[in-house]
Amino acid sequence: MNFDTLPDVPDDVVRAIKGNITDDAKRLNAKVLSWFIGKDAVYSNTIGKRIRITEINVVSSKHSGKHEAEAICELRVEDDMVNTYGTLHGGCTAYVVDICSSIPLIALGIEHGVDGSGMSQSINIMYHASATSGTALRIVSTTMVMKGRVGVSRCELWDKEKKRLVASGIHSKFRPSKPIGNSAGAKL
């Protein structure tokens, strides 16, 4: 992905992101998220456009001493996200995990000067509780591994009000050795 060609995001989007990374890194993360969500004809972009990054931090892991990144996002469950039972659809959950778990990988990649975006290898999801339309979700994603061309992160969707875990997922991504599609490769 050529980060230099991504359209800019409004300053208020950048100002709304808390955390210990630079404003330039916050802006770049927001630009990449916006690019992943896409424009009008991209799958589920109406849902993706409602995801708000609220915080990104890159810290030393208390376990390994290596850098890890954490991203916190928020999203309200709306009628276009639920199944016939009126609860968050599993497919929508997978989409949210895909998008939100990519954010800390991108943030850690920026910190280390590499493209942390990549392509999905696998997404494994466990469903713990239901969330109905109107539920405010707090989505916490943390890197687990970023080595070579592989990155893995975990993602938890929490019912913000009830403080109840709705779903959790593990997302494995890889960076192809050759650029894909119109991508010109990573340029940071």
Note whether residue 123 is domain-resident. Answer: yes
Q: What is the pLDDT of residue 185?
A: 47
Q: How many domains does the chain have?
A: 1
Q: Is residue 5 part of a domain?
A: no
CATH number, residue 110? 3.10.129.10
Per-residue pLDDT of 80-138, as tens digits, reads: 999 999 999 999 999 999 999 999 999 999 999 888 888 999 999 999 999 999 999 99
Look at the alpha carbons of 75, 87, 120, 156 in this order and tell me if their dihedral is positive or negative: positive
Q: What is the per-residue pLDDT for 66?
A: 87
pLDDT at 179 over 90: no
Q: Do the domain assignments include residue 83?
A: yes
Residues 135-166: tens digit of each pLDDT? 999 999 999 999 989 999 999 999 999 999 99
Q: Considering the domain boundaries, does residue 187 fall inside one?
A: no
Asked if residues 114 and 69 have their Cβ atoms less than 8 Å apart, the reply is no
Residue 90 within any structural domain of the chain = yes
Question: Is residue 147 in a domain?
Answer: yes
Residue position matching structure tokens 């990988």:
105
Q: What is the DSSP string of 2-33?
A: BGGGSPP--HHHHHT-BSSS-HHHHHHHHHHH
Determine, yes or no, domain membership for 3: no
Query: Which has the minimum average pLDDT: 16-20, 34-38, 135-139?
Result: 34-38
- What's the whole-number mean pLDDT along residues 17-28? 94
Residue 183 lies in a domain: no
Range of the domain at 70: 11-174
Q: What is the DSSP string of the chain?
A: -BGGGSPP--HHHHHT-BSSS-HHHHHHHHHHHHHHH-STTSTTHHHHTT-EEEEEEEEE-TTTSSEEEEEEEEEE--GGGB-TTSBB-HHHHHHHHHHHHHHHHHHHHHHHTS----EEEEEEEEE-S--BTTPEEEEEEEEEEEETTEEEEEEEEEETTTTEEEEEEEEEEE--SS--TT----B-
**What pLDDT does residue 12 have?**
95
* Res. 60 pLDDT band, cuts 50 70 90: confident
